[in-house]
Copies of this chain bind each other. A is one copy, B any other.
Amino acid sequence: MSRNANSIRLAVVPGDGIGQEVVAEGLKVLAAALPADVALETTEYDLGARLYHRTGETLPDSVLDELRGADAILLGAIGDPSVPSGVLERGLLLKLRFAFDHHVNLRPAKLGPGVVSPLGKDAQIDFVVVREGTEGPYVGNGGTLRAGTQHEVATEVSVNTAFGIERVVRDAFARAQARPRKKLTLVHKNNVLVYAGHLWTRIFNEVAAEFPEVTTDYLHVDAATIFMVTQPERFDVIVTDNLFGDIITDLAAAIAGGIGLAASGNINPSGEFPSMFEPVHGSAPDIAGQGKADPTATVLSVAMLLEHLGHTDAARAVEAAVDADLAERASLGARSTSEIGDALAKRVAG
């Protein structure tokens, strides 16, 4: 897919709950950040609980085809209590990640200026998790026998390939190599999940030989959660599987000031398919529609989107606006979703 540097075809999937509200603010900031000579063409797709209730569909093939032609996707949040758990997550969010081969799920955790970590104000948090996005226990290969009975047996199969691990491990090494501390930690559970764990460990060690400057480290996932709350400064880049990455990035968000600030990119590095950017948080139905959601995570996801599309200056401007806003938050009163979005857009523009 060839891309025109002076235009962005952006597919927007606000989704459920607060997804709507935070995406609106993300788009405001995106518009303010884009260089004047870059044309932005957005197409919004109404996917999620509403579509599901109306038609029973989660991701129609026609929509998937259209999305394929986008330069990038901005997603809000997926999931609603009115829909059985898993239907929208597997049928829409994970379907997009798998269909567009988003194997690098990038989740930075950095304590912003003035942000108070639950670990106290001296906590040093500046790392990025590279979560594998297309394999592991997320593949949906499982089943059930004697469903609904007292003899039911349910299985979940984690599938891990040398191919899938190598590409994400290589990506993580390259990211570690580009950072000042040049440190990469593999997180797995290779003392229990020995088949998958040994494959991850072998590939990790093989690829390490190509990056002699990168310091490497291994932690079991359980130990990683301990270090995250006792020595978060020990992490620089982490590479891990889909499920472990899911768990430790929520924890990482919590220690870095909360899920309202955690951005993510579901990256297809080859550019064969559009990458997708979304806040780490969910649809938060309990506060939806009340203007209470913090759009900062979405705005930081927009910065990742800009960076991915090569608009590096614009990405830095969005990040700087967020940092400046964060630094003043303690002295500001409560603001609504759109007030925060307006403030960020104003900073970016001016």
Cβ contact within 8 Å between B230 and A250: no
A152 within 8 A of B: yes
A154: chain B residues within 8 A (beta carbon): 160-161, 195-196, 198-199
Interface string of A241-253 (1 = CB under 8 A from B): 0010011111101
Complex interface bits, A161-189 against B, C-beta within 8 A gives 1, otherwise 0: 11100100000000000000000000001
Interface size of A by CB at 8 A reads 67
Whether the Cβ atoms of B161 and A152 lie closer than 8 Å is yes
A197 CB–B CB distance under 8 Å: yes
Stretch at the interface among A41-49, A221-229, A297-305: A221-229
Complex Cα distance, B256 from A225, in Å, reads: 13
Q: Is A86 an interface residue, CB under 8 A from the partner?
A: yes
- The reply to whether A156 and B193 form a contact with Cβ atoms under 8 Å apart is yes
List B contacts of A79 (CB < 8 A): 191
Q: Which of B140, B159, B258 contacts A230 (CB 8 A)?
A: B258
State the CA gap A222–B194 with chains docked (Å). Answer: 23
A90 to B137, CA, bound (A): 20
Q: Which residues of B contact A243 (CB under 8 A)?
A: 189, 192
For A152, list chain B residues within 8 Å (CB).
161-162, 199
Interface locus among A24-32, A55-63, A141-149, A323-331: A141-149
Bound state CA distance, A265 and B137, in angstroms? 28
Q: Report yes or no: A86 in contact with B153, Cβ–Cβ below 8 A.
A: no
Contact B225 A225 (CB under 8 A): yes
Number of copies of this protein chain within its complex: 2
Known contacts A85-B194, A86-B192, A90-B194; A162 and B156 CB within 8 A of each other: no
Q: Which residues of B contact A120 (CB under 8 A)?
A: 118, 120
Alpha-carbon distance A251/B223, docked complex (angstroms): 8
Complex Cα spacing A210 to B258, Å: 37
Which of B89, B119, B138, B195 contacts A156 (CB under 8 A)?
B195
Whether A157 sits at the interface, judged by CB under 8 Å, is yes
A255 adjacent to chain B (CB < 8 Å): yes
Asked if A201 and B158 make an inter-chain contact with CB atoms under 8 angstroms apart, the answer reads no
Contact A230–B251 (Cβ < 8 Å):
no
- Give the chain B neighbours of A246 by CB distance below 8 A: 189, 192, 221-222
Task: Look across to chain B and name the residue whose beta carbon is closest to the beta carbon of A221.
Answer: B247
The reply to whether B85 and A197 form a contact with Cβ atoms under 8 Å apart is yes
Chain B residue nearest to A78 (CB atoms) is B191
**CB distance A155 to B144 under 8 Å?**
no
Residues of A within 8 A of B (CB): 79, 85-86, 89-90, 94, 118-120, 137-138, 140, 142-144, 146, 148-163, 166, 189-199, 201-202, 221-223, 225-226, 228-230, 243, 246-251, 253-255, 258-259, 282
Question: Beyond A90-B194, A192-B243: 17 further Cβ-contacts under 8 Å?
Answer: A86-B194, A86-B198, A90-B192, A118-B119, A137-B156, A137-B193, A142-B194, A152-B161, A154-B196, A155-B195, A192-B246, A222-B249, A223-B250, A223-B282, A225-B248, A226-B250, A226-B253
Which 9 A-B pairs have CB atoms at the shortest separation, nearest pair first?
A: A222-B250, A86-B194, A225-B251, A154-B195, A142-B195, A154-B199, A226-B254, A89-B191, A156-B158
